Amino acid sequence: MSTLIAAKSLFTGSEWIQDATVEIKDGKIISITKEQYDASTAYHYIVPAFIDLQIYGADKKLLSEFPDADCIQKIYEYCLAGGTAYFQPTVASQSTAVIVKAIDAVKAYKTSVGKGCIGLHLEGPWINAIKKGAHNEDVIHAPTIAEVEEILAYGKEYISMITLAPEICDPRIIEVIQSHGIIISAGHSNANYETATTFFDNGITVATHLFNAMSGFLHREPGMVGALFNHPRATSSIIVDGYHVNYNAVKSAKKIMGDRLFCITDAVTTTSSGFYKHTLVGDKYESGGTLSGSALTQLKSVQNLVEHVGLDFTEAIKMCSVYPARVMQKKEMSGCIKLGETAALVCLNEKMELIKIVAS
């Protein structure tokens, strides 16, 4: 038996359809039609479910402190509550021992429950200490090829993205990582404009959290920010909570980068042990009085883009669904609502508030 879900306005990821119905059977979208529309049951909006490529924990369990399947399940539940169907659990710079445990956690989750988890995002420890941000300097280092190959072999099929500072890595290391089909994101980097541009010209297609923990834009040295602005293909994530990046800076970046800019939450959770301690202060997290993480959901990112950055609703949705899907290049995750694809959509009211999520 199939399920019908109607919308006054349906956004497929490429177009809006008014008075439309999505028919779902066995977790797949089998039709999108106007003929079966029932106004009495219709949601105001149906849009593609969101995708979050960087999130560290939820419900007082940070993955680096609780590297187990239960932690990833809690992250998934947090994601669902914020309209996100697909996510990358993320570990900030850690020891090899913790990285191995995080790989084990992703493997355990994906081979049991498995829902929503794209793979593990390793953010460090192969980053530039000058741009370490809140990362623990004791574990930050330039990797050896042997170290990288060992971790990649152990995490085969379970590591999906690695954030590193390309300027501290032997070029052969970058080639090895990419040969495993893993997305490299340039981040926590102090590369100058020319160096960053060279990396973006030669296969690194993504950067981690624009403006944060990267060489900034100066009039005599445009840095990595300037390289991203001027590059025709390089993409970047950005954190739209109003704390990590001023909303006016988001607006400027969006005007320059267009569809090359996408949202992540970079969300953490309350923790009191380990390297990374976070305390919720208002609607952000701090560590020792310093900004240490967001309390975002992707739905909140959409709302902030519309209400504070001034984007239209369509483009805000794309920044949290279509564009991150494009970065990952996985055929089973398009960020769209399409015939034959797995059903992943959110139902919203006229205030852009979540009413229902469908995530097969």
**Rounded to 5 degrees, what are φ and ψ at 124?**
90, 180
Low-confidence ranges of the chain (pLDDT < 70): none
Q: Could you tell me if residue 16 is left (phi over 0), alpha (psi between -120 and 50 degrees) or otherwise beta?
A: beta
> Active-site positions?
266
ω into residue 232 within 30 of 0, thus cis? no
CB of 200 closer than 8 Å to CB of 234: yes
Q: What CATH number matches the domain at 3-47+339-359, 3.10.180.10, 3.40.50.800, 2.30.40.10, 3.40.50.1370?
A: 2.30.40.10
CA angle 241, 242, 248 (to 5 degrees): 130
What gap in Å lies between CA 353 and CA 348, rounded to an integer?
Answer: 5
CB of 341 closer than 8 Å to CB of 29: yes
Number of helices and strands in the chain (H, E): 10, 19
Domain positions in the chain: 3-47+339-359, 50-328
Task: Annotate 242-255 with DSSP letters as a single string.
Answer: SSSS-HHHHHHHHH
What gap in Å lies between CA 126 and CA 92, rounded to an integer?
Answer: 10
* Structural element, H or E, at residue 69: helix 69-81
What is the reported pTM? 0.97
In CATH, the number for domain 50-328 is 3.20.20.140
Tens-place pLDDT, residues 291-336:
889 999 999 999 999 999 999 999 999 999 999 999 999 988 999 9
Tens-place pLDDT, residues 193-214:
999 999 999 999 999 999 999 9
